[in-house]
Chains A and B, each alone.
Chain A
């Protein structure tokens, strides 16, 4: 089972919106939208920001949104802030979990 494919890096300016893609196969995603996204700062444990495709944990900013079309899931961060500079990972569950390759977001 190979990792889901994400762009290695995405750049954006404060206030802009960026989208991170996460591509796999139909067997990676299955019939259910069990895609989650994680934000990870250097030296810290990952933190869930999206689960079940588009749901946000309680208290999380609505600047983060998730979606899926076919075999590609996407994370959009709107109104980009300097604090959003971090690594982001997607993850899908279809009988077992598979992570994406990870994307480093840089806020210019």
Chain B
């Protein structure tokens, strides 16, 4: 069965770039959209954006100016970069398989990223 695993630094300094990678195992990254979703501690969910294996992307309008999501099909991975990080970006970051508008059926376990000096 398909499994997702997030990886990346757990601590990022303010104004620096937050970078995470999601590794897809048990299946091919092709033919599906792949999303990043975050959840600040004790708060609700926020969709960040998705990427298709062709490299086509769609981002949350509120984050669009700072977000880049890319895909590496040779490694079966996709990645998130969020520039100019602030304390407000402190959150549990999830990667998930996107059913093209119909939500997400497979999620990673999440990785906590704290933005602090």
A34 on interface, CB distance cutoff 8 Å: yes
**Are B104 and A102 closer than 8 Å at their CB atoms?**
no
Q: Given A45-B108, A46-B107, are A102 and B47 also a contact pair (CB < 8 Å)?
A: no
Min C-beta distance of A94 to chain B, whole Å: 9
Min C-beta distance of B3 to chain A, whole Å: 12
A29 on interface, CB distance cutoff 8 Å: no
Q: Given A89-B45, A101-B44, are A96 and B99 also a contact pair (CB < 8 Å)?
A: no
Q: Which of B44, B45, B105, B110 contacts A48 (CB 8 A)?
A: B105
**Are A93 and B103 closer than 8 Å at their CB atoms?**
yes
**Are A34 and B101 closer than 8 Å at their CB atoms?**
yes
**Are B102 and A52 closer than 8 Å at their CB atoms?**
yes
* Of B18-26, B56-64, B80-88, the one with at least 4 CB within 8 A of chain A: B56-64
Min C-beta distance of A55 to chain B, whole Å: 8
- Counting chain B CB atoms within 10 Å of each CB, which of A34, A36, A97, A102 scores highest? A97
**Are B47 and A48 closer than 8 Å at their CB atoms?**
no
B34 on interface, CB distance cutoff 8 Å: no
Q: How far is the CA of A1 from the CA of B48 in the complex (A)?
A: 13
Chain A residues within an 8 Å CB radius of B58: 96
Q: How far is the CA of A96 from the CA of B49 in the complex (A)?
A: 8
Closest to A36 in B: B103
Residues 77-108 of chain A, each 1 if its beta carbon lies under 8 Å from chain B, else 0 = 00000000000010101001111111000000
B93-111 residues with Cβ-Cβ distance < 8 A to A are 94, 99, 101-105, 107-110
Chain A residues within an 8 Å CB radius of B94: 45-46
Q: Which 6 A-B pairs have the closest CB atoms?
A: A36-B103, A97-B47, A45-B107, A93-B101, A102-B44, A99-B45
Chain A residues with a Cβ under 8 A of chain B? 1, 3, 32, 34, 36, 38, 45-48, 51-52, 57, 89, 91, 93, 96-102
Chain B residues with a Cβ under 8 A of chain A? 35, 44-47, 58-62, 94, 99, 101-105, 107-110
Known: A34-B103, A93-B103. 4 other contacts (CB 8 A): A3-B44, A36-B104, A93-B102, A99-B46
